[in-house]
A and B are shown apart, each in its own frame.
Chain A
Amino acid sequence: MSDSDFAATEAGLAAVFAHAGVDIPPERLAENYELFASTLALIRQASPPGLGETVPAVAFKASWH
């Protein structure tokens, strides 16, 4: 599946929320499904193929000084 046609299913979301320990009753999930699915699709767009050897940007510069 390419990054552009990703769409979370309601059942898939229910499983992820259960795994995350976030309690979302079925009616709430149904009510917000469009928001959840479109948001996760947007997030998936930041995971395109071809990133190769690129390392993550690490913003923090931890220091003991």
Chain B
Amino acid sequence: MELYELPLVEVAEKIRTKEVSPVEVTQSSLARLEEVEPALTAFVTTTPELALEQAKLAEQEIGEGKYRGPLHGIPLGVKDLYDTAGIKTTSSSAQRANHVPSSDSASVARLYEAGMVLIGKTHTHEFAYGATTPTTGNPWAPDHTPGGSSGGSGAAVGAGVVHVALGSDTGGSIRIPAALCGTVGLKPTFGRASRVGVASLSWSLDHVGPLSRNVIDAALVMAAMSGYDRRDPATVDLPVPDMVTGIDAGVAGKKIGIPTNYYTERVDPEAAAAARTAALKLEELGAELIEVEIPMAEHVISTEWAIMMPEASAYHMDALRNSPEKFTEETRALLEAGAAALATDYVNALRLRTLIQAGWAEMFSAIDVLLAPTVVAAATLRSDPFLRWPDGTVEGATGAYVRLSAPANITGLPSLSVPAAFTSDGLPLGVQVIGRPFAEPEILQVGYALEQSTDVVGRIAPVMHRVA
């Protein structure tokens, strides 16, 4: 078995006990990258020299007794939206083709501090404005979308190149690729982690977090990324909890909300079945299932887009006015549409957001977490990014995938996507566990319990076998 195939915690233990060197771990990751990257194009930029340099430093530090913890010497992928000092950061856009930041984003700085090793920068749907990442293939079937916008991160983790890659989530962009690529994805509570140095799509909806192979990896990385940052006025000055200790506490007595609307509408039968199966597993483990109605469901999608689009257009206004031809046609048209929205419509969407947040707080008075499908269906073909429903309607993949993830962006609640099943075609599906504000440890406990009760979490896509 190759080192990249071992779970992160096992690799970390081997590094801690000096059974293996971070250099060997990095070499294994780079070898896997070389093997699968031609089929996937998960990375915009790879950084093998830097990775080996960082790994050698980690090896030296550990040799000197300066072990930093379980992320020390572990390879990392970083979405190309995150600034990395001295390394090209393009947001997968010609607008920033030659952009080389002078400093690291807050998350990358924190993970370097924890000793992680940068393998490269992963592709995003241009500026995170879409959920299909057209540049990149799905590791389980490269002619299918990896989802997005953090599609490169999903592909890199799903293919086993890295155990962890960073994503950002404005309408589901961590959880969607996690679900479609068979990885774990954690969108934390709004304000839990700093977005400084990460290109924005929508300031009031953006979140940063990890995609990872196993649930405990997400706990380790999220804890390392979290914390107050005065430069990001959204961050909250709360102590960062230990997200790992007690992760195996189980779900006995936990009240699991099961939606009777919204998450049940226009959902592929296999995706719905995966969520039902996960709920029944939790019940078998001692949880109580409680049916709940999602409040103000009819306003979720319009609120998400009415907030996101004007904010995105405001962020990109200079480029939209001065060099619109450098955007892809899809992004340009969305930015133009957002520029035409009325300020009063934007403000009223924020007022609806107040009501939606209040409705969800009330709903959570009866439950501990909500369990729902992460995506409406498995990955579409890259050449045909649409979903076709039995009533004859055809829905664009981005709009369809965002439907089930947007509520956690509007409410700011933490949401963890965990692989739940594979379709009859061999494509992954996920379920999401949504918690109360700052209840990341609780949703990680539920996700961990699901992981322990199935064999679909932690798998590595063969990639080359499917290509052949």
Contact = CB atoms under 8 A, between A and B. Distances in A.
Interface of A: 8, 13, 16-17, 20-24, 32, 35-36, 39-40, 42-48, 51, 54-65
A44 B237 CA distance: 35
Contacts of A56: 347, 350-351, 353-354
B355 A46 contact: no
A44 B204 CA distance: 19
B237 A59 contact: no
A57 B333 contact: no
A42 B339 contact: no
B341 A32 contact: no
B190 A48 contact: no
Contacts of B191: 61
Nearest to A6: B345
Contact of B230 (A51, A59, A63): A63
Interface string B296-315: 00010111011101100000
B352 interface: yes
B348 A51 contact: yes
B340 A17 contact: yes
A59 B204 contact: yes
B100 interface: no
Given A22-B320, A39-B309, A46-B306, A60 B345 contact: no
Given A21-B321, A24-B336, A55 B351 contact: yes
Contacts, number: 113
Contacts of B236: 61
Contact of A35 (B337, B341, B348): B337
Contact of A36 (B340, B349, B412): B340
B306 A47 contact: yes
A64 B394 CA distance: 49
A15 B320 CA distance: 17
B364 interface: no
B340 A16 contact: yes
Interface string B190-217: 1100000000000110000000000000
A62 B347 CA distance: 19
Given A42-B301, A51-B351, 5 more contacts: A22-B320, A46-B348, A48-B348, A56-B350, A57-B350
Contacts of A59: 190, 203-204, 234, 412
A42 B302 contact: yes
Contacts of B337: 35-36, 39-40
Nearest to B399: A42
5 contacts: A22-B340, A43-B309, A46-B305, A48-B348, A51-B355
Contacts of B344: 47
B357 interface: yes
B354 A46 contact: no
B204 to A, nearest CB: 4
B63 interface: no
Interface in B151-207: 190-191, 203-204
Contact of A46 (B234, B299, B339): B299
B345 A46 contact: yes
A44 B309 CA distance: 12
A17 B339 contact: yes
B86 interface: no
B241 interface: no
B347 A43 contact: no
A44 B302 CA distance: 8
B353 A62 contact: no
B286 interface: no
Between A45, A58, A65, the greatest number of chain B beta carbons within 10 A of the residue's beta carbon is seen for A45
Contacts of B253: none
Contact of B303 (A17, A36, A46, A58): A46
A28 B227 CA distance: 45
Contact of A65 (B230, B302, B353): B230
A62 B338 CA distance: 26
Contacts of A54: 351-352, 354-355
Contacts of A51: 348, 351-352, 355
B397 to A, nearest CB: 16
A20 B339 contact: yes
Contacts of A21: 321
Interface in B314-342: 320-321, 324, 333-334, 336-341
B122 to A, nearest CB: 26
Contacts of A63: 230, 233, 237
Contacts of A55: 351, 354
Between A20, A35, A36, A48, the greatest number of chain B beta carbons within 10 A of the residue's beta carbon is seen for A20
Given A43-B309, A60-B233, A61-B236, A22 B351 contact: no
